[in-house]
């Protein structure tokens, strides 16, 4: 019976797009009723092993209506997700004040603390990766603390970097002094973030000018609360590693291949080293924070001291950063 069940398994693939034809990166594709899923790649493509022709695919993405598709005898699917209608009563920070979503003329996405991605992150933008429809966040090189490319509704201009304007607690960041390989948000501990709002269209330029041509990412940090003094201590520890290594020839197989094809190898010193194991490792990640807050109706305060250290899975790479925020 086990052999028969395995033989019914098959692989299906396809592409996930939105209602205007744009690829959706990071959408979740799973088999209904079975704990088996995958995420779409940057071009919206996916591939998943399912239990058989009677299976059903469930496709979900933040900001879009969840869709189910019957497998039947098909092997490739083009799946279109429709934007979901959400509540318009939420209050959002915009520019120099607040407004209700139903009063705004522009497109906006908001993610609060309870909806953030869970885990150890080096930058606030990683908290909302895959959480806001129309926003694509891609790491440029994958290194800890490295810069990321954020595209809001695709490329919004023919020239320029295409990066949005970052506003932290009402203060726009000037990125001209930052190095190209650095993430401009590295100075903020993700633990201190309360919510992140994204202004997606050109109406943001009415508030921030031409700097908002590529959209605006508004970051709101935690604030002091009325009440007695309170001390919060937080700590996170994790390990990252390579999920699947590339299958390559070992030293003996490589020498046999060179001899078979008659190619001279004048640089062979007789070593026997696994190149992948030689440069990769299980990387430790840790983030610690101590924060205090309190105050009364007339004066409130909050301070935070933290330290983040993330080793890269490639040896001699990593990111460590002390934090102080008040």
Ordered structural domains, the chain, with CATH: 8-81 (2.60.40.1120), 91-221 (2.170.130.10), 227-325 (no CATH)
Token pair of 245 as six digits: 């290594």
Query: Which of 50-64, 126-140, 165-179 is the least confident region?
Result: 165-179
Is residue 290 within 8 A of residue 304, CB to CB? The reply is yes
Ranges 95-109, 280-294, 299-313: which has the least confidence: 95-109
Radius of gyration of the chain (CA): 24
Higher pLDDT, 59 or 129: 59
d(CA 132, CA 118): 15
First to last CA, the chain: 63
- Alpha-carbon distance 74 to 199, whole Å? 39
pLDDT averaged over every residue in the chain? 80
Question: Per this entry, what is the length of the chain?
Answer: 326
Of residues 202 and 88, more confidently modeled: 202
What pLDDT is recorded for position 177?
42
Q: Which of 74, 82, 84 is nearest to 17 (CA)?
A: 82
Return d(Cα 163, Cα 34) in angstroms, integer. Answer: 39
What φ, ψ does residue 163 adopt, rounded to 5°?
Answer: -85, 145
Residue with tokens 């998943």: 48
Q: What share of the chain is helix, strand, coil (3-state, %, to 5)?
A: 15, 40, 45
Other CB atoms within 10 Å distance of the CB of residue 52: 12
Angstrom distance (rounded) from CA 83 to CA 66: 9
Contact 42, 23 (CB under 8 A): yes
Segment 256-276 shows an average pLDDT of 80
- Confidence check: pLDDT of 160 > 60: no
**Lowest-pLDDT choice from 2-11, 73-82, 157-166, 253-262:** 2-11
Contact present, 8 and 51 (Cβ < 8 Å): yes
Mean pLDDT value of segment 169-184: 65
Per-residue tokens: 19: 């209602």
90, 100 Cβ separation under 8 angstroms: yes
d(CA 299, CA 146) in angstroms, rounded, equals 38
- Decide if pLDDT at 74 tops 60: yes
CA triplet 279, 285, 287: central angle to 5 degrees?
155
Residue reference for tokens 């919206």: 44
Contact indicator for 109, 135 with CB cutoff of 8 Å? yes
Among residues 120, 117, 114, the alpha carbon closest in space to that of 288 is found at 120
CB atoms near residue 137 (< 10 Å): 21
Rounded to 5 degrees, what are φ and ψ at 6? -65, -35
Q: For residues 4 and 181, give the distance between their C-alpha atoms in angstroms, rounded to a whole number.
A: 53
**Is the pLDDT reported for residue 181 higher than 60?**
no
Q: Which two tokens stand for residue 183?
A: 């993430």
Q: pLDDT band at residue 81, thresholds of 50, 70 and 90?
A: very high
User: Above 90 in pLDDT, residue 139?
Assistant: no
DSSP state of 270: S
Mean pLDDT of 29-41: 89
């Amino acid at each position: 019976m086990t052999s028969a069940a395995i033989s019914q398994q098959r692989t299906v693939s396809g592409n996930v797009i939105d209602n205007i034809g744009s690829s959706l990166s990071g959408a979740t594709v799973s088999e209904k009723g079975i704990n088996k899923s995958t995420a779409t790649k940057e071009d919206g493509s996916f591939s998943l092993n399912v239990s058989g022709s009677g299976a059903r695919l469930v496709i979900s993405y933040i900001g879009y209506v969840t869709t189910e598709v019957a497998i039947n005898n098909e092997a490739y699917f083009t799946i279109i997700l429709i934007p979901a209608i959400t509540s318009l009563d939420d209050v959002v920070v915009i520019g120099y004040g607040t407004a209700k979503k139903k009063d705004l003329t522009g497109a906006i996405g908001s993610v609060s603390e309870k909806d953030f991605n869970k885990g150890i992150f080096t930058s606030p933008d990683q908290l909302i990766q895959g959480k806001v429809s129309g926003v694509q966040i891609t790491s440029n090189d994958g290194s800890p603390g490295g810069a990321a490319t954020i595209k809001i509704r695709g490329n919004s201009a023919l020239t320029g970097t295409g990066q949005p304007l970052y506003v932290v607690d009402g203060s726009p960041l000037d990125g001209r002094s930052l190095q190209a390989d650095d993430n401009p948000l590295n100075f903020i501990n993700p633990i201190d973030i309360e919510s992140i709002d994204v202004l997606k269209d050109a109406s943001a330029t009415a508030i921030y000018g031409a700097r908002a041509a590529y959209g605006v990412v508004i970051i709101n940090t935690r604030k002091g609360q009325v009440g007695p003094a309170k001390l919060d201590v937080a700590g996170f520890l994790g390990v990252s590693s390579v999920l699947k290594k590339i299958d390559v020839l070992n030293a003996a197989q490589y020498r046999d291949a060179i001899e078979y094809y008659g190619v001279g190898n004048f640089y062979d010193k007789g070593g026997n080293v696994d190149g992948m194991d030689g440069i990769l490792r299980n990387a430790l990640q840790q983030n610690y924070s101590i924060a205090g807050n309190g105050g009364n109706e007339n004066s409130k305060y909050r301070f935070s001291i933290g330290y983040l250290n993330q080793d890269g899975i490639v040896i001699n790479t990593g990111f460590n950063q002390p934090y102080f925020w008040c």
